Amino acid sequence: MEAKSLMGWLGCWWVGTAILIPIPILTHTRDLEKPAIPVLYTNPATDNHSNLINRLKHVTATIFEDIVPAGHFCQGFDRSTDPLCQRLMGYKSDKNEYTRLPPCLFSDGFTSGAAMFRTFIGVKILTCLLWGKSALDALNMSTKRTNSDLWHMKEMNTSVLAFIGVTTCWVLSGDTKFTSPGNKTGIDYIADFNHYVARIDELVRKGTWSITNTFQFYNDHVFASSKTLQSVIPTKVPVSASKEEEAIWKSLEAIDNEPDSDSEISGIAGAPIISSDEATMSPLNESLVADHHPITNDVSPGPTGVDIDTSNIPLDLRKASHSKKR
């Protein structure tokens, strides 16, 4: 499988959507998400050292503060073999694969439909990409022209939320190039992006309160009219879901347990074919998560036989000493 630049592929999705089609919450469709000009920003974005990714590379320690030690993001540190990063990425050593919906994508790491993508990490990533890294460490955001202004982004949409999910996983993965599949992990980020978009669209179509609140959460903390550090970095992630919404979530997970015909990950040289129903994530809610990413080790030997103590790992941006299990 040929590696594709994520910024070239995902970037035109995200930027194209933002510039050409401002989409109101809960009124967009899958077709509207596709950019009208597919080559938009493709050339400058294909560079692995694009401005968007450089913005993140310089503040990853801040984005994952109190979750992952700053030293993990120093040059030469291999996050793909680190037990903590593996835990956050939902890596299973016995099956040598990653889950498609890892703990790092959920509020406090609990795999509940209400908490999907609603994380402090996501707020920081989007804030940095749209407003610049100074927005994370200064009392007031810069008033100069920002990506948010250039792209006319005024509110959250499905593609951006899916992009945040993929970017969160990539930063933790240890992959050294922003390409799909990952050059160390073999993760098919493009397939994941499509999966996230389909999942979010389904929740939107069904009108669930949880996804409505997730969109509003980002709108409040990233697109608020008053841009200050206090308004950007939330102190609490609101979580709400009815029994009906959780039933919808579980029905979507049941679909995930079917073989993933769209994924090309098993076509990578040396990658075992593992159906998504052969593994679940532990110790979290095991019936709700579908695994699908076998390790391919294209660049360096992958992790094997790692036993991870996950009992005391905080998964949000509050101080570790203040983190409590719900």
Establish if 291 belongs to a structural domain: no
Establish if 286 belongs to a structural domain: no
What DSSP letter does each residue of 222-285 carry, written as one string? HS-SS-BHHHHS-S-------HHHHHHHHHHHHHHTS--TT--GGGSTT-----GGG---SSS-
Looking at the 3D structure of the chain, how many domains does it have?
A: 1
Q: What is residue 241's predicted lDDT score, i.e. its pLDDT?
A: 58
Q: What is residue 255's predicted lDDT score, i.e. its pLDDT?
A: 55
Which one-letter DSSP state was computed for residue 76? T
pTM of the model: 0.61
Establish if 265 belongs to a structural domain: no
Report pLDDT digits (tens) over 134-159: 666 654 444 444 554 445 566 788 88
Domain with 50 in it? 36-228+243-255
Q: What is residue 80's predicted lDDT score, i.e. its pLDDT?
A: 84
Establish if 325 belongs to a structural domain: no
Q: What is residue 312's predicted lDDT score, i.e. its pLDDT?
A: 40
CB within 8 A of 111, min separation 6: which ones? Answer: 101, 103, 281, 284, 285, 288, 289
CA dihedral 102, 165, 39, 298 (to 10 degrees): -30
Q: What is residue 253's predicted lDDT score, i.e. its pLDDT?
A: 60
Establish if 44 belongs to a structural domain: yes
Q: What is residue 283's predicted lDDT score, i.e. its pLDDT?
A: 33
**Length of the chain counted residue by residue:** 326
Establish if 311 belongs to a structural domain: no
Q: What is residue 263's predicted lDDT score, i.e. its pLDDT?
A: 34
Report pLDDT digits (tens) over 170-226: 888 888 777 778 888 888 888 888 899 988 888 888 888 888 888 888 888 787 654
Establish if 24 belongs to a structural domain: no
Establish if 326 belongs to a structural domain: no
List the chain residues with pLDDT less than 50.
1, 8-49, 139-145, 148-150, 226-233, 235, 259-291, 296-326
Q: How far apart are CA 268 and CA 200, in angstroms?
A: 28
